Amino acid sequence: MDLITWTEEMSVGVKALDDDHKMLIEMMNKLNDGILAGQSNLALEDVVESLVRYTRLHFAREERLFAQTGYPSSAAHKAEHDLMTRRILNLQMRFENGQSLELSMKAMAFLKNWLTHHILSSDMQYKSHLNAKGIH
């Protein structure tokens, strides 16, 4: 079963950003499935690497839109992205150092929580701003 399911209530009203969120969710589900199937950390390193890379790409895409449209909460939002980037890189490092299945499951629970919470609280706050600037 999927760890996370994208639902309409997660829509931030901008197609490219919704697509990013769906992609991140898909990657997390893939990683979770791999862990549950007992695949080794080594076998899953590429999935983790793609997740790290896509997370950074997505944060950069949001931040570019903030800069383009003069989003007032940009600094606080970017600080959240930076914190998340540090956490996910730290997690990648521990994963590459062979952390146990139990820790990996905890890590997945952490990823799930931050992604859904970030989308539903922080990302949702830019929805009306970006839509008002003609970005959908």
Site residues (vs Fe ion, CB under 5 A): 62, 123
Return the exposure string of 26-38: e unless at least 16 CB atoms fall within 10 Å of the residue's CB, then b: ebbbbbbebbeee
Contact between residue 60 and residue 20 where contact means Cβ atoms under 8 Å apart? no
Closer to Fe ion by CB, 16 or 103: give it. Answer: 16
- How far apart, in whole angstroms, are the C-alpha atoms of residue 12 and residue 123? 7
Nearest-approach distance from CB 63 to Fe ion, in angstroms: 8
Nearest-approach distance from CB 22 to Fe ion, in angstroms: 11
Closer to Fe ion by CB, 40 or 121: give it. Answer: 121
Closer to Fe ion by CB, 33 or 80: give it. Answer: 80
Nearest-approach distance from CB 80 to Fe ion, in angstroms: 7
Burial class (CB in 10 A: 0-12, 13-18, 19+), 104: buried
HSE toward the beta carbon, residue 127, CA cutoff 13 A: 14
Nearest-approach distance from CB 103 to Fe ion, in angstroms: 26
Q: Determine the residue with CB nearest Fe ion.
A: 123
Structure tokens at 77: 């939002």
Closer to Fe ion by CB, 60 or 105: give it. Answer: 60
